[in-house]
Amino acid sequence: MPTILGWGKEISNAAKMYTEELKYNGINSSFDYKLTIFYNICNRSDVPQEAYNKALLIILIGLALN
């Protein structure tokens, strides 16, 4: 039976690295800059590229999350 990968541990580790200042709020920050930070944190947390769509919500806060 094949194993299904969810990458929960890796995404959780990436989420722990985020502070409020690193998150994108949709008002006064550059999404491109915050996305670059996201890629760097995912790389350090071993989140594979195919899991980025699952992990993307960890960078949003405030209006951007709503």
> Smallest Cα–Cα separation from 56: which of 16, 11, 17, 21?
11
Query: pLDDT (tens digit, 9 = 90+) per residue, 28-64?
Result: 889 999 999 999 999 999 999 999 999 999 999 999 9
Q: Contact 18/54 with Cβ under 8 angstroms?
A: no
> Could you tell me the sign of the dihedral formed by the alpha carbons of 29, 35, 25, 64, in that order?
positive
**Residues facing 60 on adjacent strands:** 24
Question: How far is the C-alpha of 22 from the C-alpha of 25, rounded, in Å?
Answer: 9
Query: pLDDT (tens digit, 9 = 90+) per residue, 4-37?
Result: 568 999 999 999 999 999 999 999 889 999 999 9
Q: Is the pLDDT of residue 1 over 90?
A: no
